[in-house]
Amino acid sequence: MRFVPHQVYFQEDALSYPLGRELFARFSRQGTGMVVVPKGSPIRACEGLSPEQAYLSAKRTLVVAVRRALRFQTCKPSAHYQLPLVSGCPGLCEYCYLQTTLGPRPYVRVYVNTDEILEAADRHIRERAPETTVFEGAATSDPMSVEEYTGSVARAVAFFASRPHGRFRLATKYCAVEGILDVVHRRRTRVRFSINTDRAIAQFERGTPALEERLAAARKVAGAGYPVGFLVAPVIAYPGWQGEYRSLVRGLVGSVQERAEPDLTFEVISHRFTRRAKSLICGRHPDSALPMNEGERCPVRGRFGYVKFVYPKAVIDSMKSLFEEEIRRCFPAAAIEYVI
């Protein structure tokens, strides 16, 4: 499944970079609608639209920009820093935390100053050396969804291969991995594939590849020698969830070669939401069946002070037992990083 933007906005200064000019020429040849906006000017692709229409319009809009903030945000607990190669994602996943993180205009934004971004990463690495510094490439995006346009993941992989004290990790639902398969990586990049049950994907992850496509991509990446992982998220306690998630884990057997299993990782995240996210989701997906009944959840204050609604302890404990039992049975050599 490819992302083909309906319209492309170019920040004027992005055209002073080779990638910006390359993308401008590419979309010109394709006849895609394009707008060049002066530096600092807002993108107005969503003006006058309803929340649902604005959301869909933004998800079909590519913004080609220059990343100006080159002191990266922290990304605890999974990494030391974010690596902002891309912002946003074309997927229509109803539960996604980017619903709130990116605000009312969740455009797919790519940055053309990749070299400057990697130079900033190098400074962060040197500041912490000889300790290893880990960067997360999918904190506010799915960079593989636009890799055919940017090549930025491949460049990041090559960069970290030459940095003994740096490590790169990213999560993706997308499958166009061919561009990174022949890149020298020295096993310093881990690619995790975000997966869910067929029912959850069909109902809540519109605009993303099917499970089998993701697993096929995982086999390719593992076959190229990369460390890989599976991110099961979010786990949704719908009727019959136990059997379907048990089948999901069992169905992963054979998804990576046996020799890759000792370095295989699992991360499992239960569904949760905030009131702000719930409000945005209901506006953008008015027919959503996402379970967000606050009376069936427990309010918990997050580390940034906001309240999120999580499953009761009994449900979380059931999820932990199920995933730990099934993963250890099917992949005894794999590492379970967390089940939350």
Indicate the domain borders of the chain: 7-288+296-339
**Rounded-to-integer distance, Cα 96 and Cα 171, Å:** 13
User: 180, 156 in Cβ contact below 8 A?
Assistant: no
The pair of three-digit structure tokens given for residue 248, joined into one six-digit string: 């999901």
Q: Please state which architecture CATH assigns to domain 7-288+296-339.
A: Alpha-Beta Horseshoe (3.80)
Residue 42 pLDDT: 86
**Rounded-to-integer distance, Cα 14 and Cα 231, Å:** 34
**Rounded-to-integer distance, Cα 191 and Cα 171, Å:** 6
The pair of three-digit structure tokens given for residue 278, joined into one six-digit string: 């719930």
The pair of three-digit structure tokens given for residue 151, joined into one six-digit string: 């090549």
The pair of three-digit structure tokens given for residue 260, joined into one six-digit string: 């890759």
User: 262, 227 in Cβ contact below 8 A?
Assistant: no
User: 263, 333 in Cβ contact below 8 A?
Assistant: no
Residue among 109, 115, 263, 114 at smallest CA distance from 192:
263
Task: Provide the 10 A C-beta neighbour count for residue 124.
Answer: 18
Residue with the two structure tokens 């010109």: 28
Residue 262 pLDDT: 77
Residue 78 pLDDT: 84
The pair of three-digit structure tokens given for residue 2, joined into one six-digit string: 């490819």
The pTM is what? 0.94
The whole-number mean pLDDT for each consecutive block of 10 residues of the chain, a chain of 340 residues, reads 94 97 98 93 85 92 95 89 96 89 86 98 97 96 97 98 98 97 98 97 96 96 95 97 97 79 91 93 92 95 85 97 96 93
- Residue 252 is classified by DSSP as T
**Rounded-to-integer distance, Cα 207 and Cα 4, Å:** 11
Task: Provide the 10 A C-beta neighbour count for residue 314.
Answer: 8
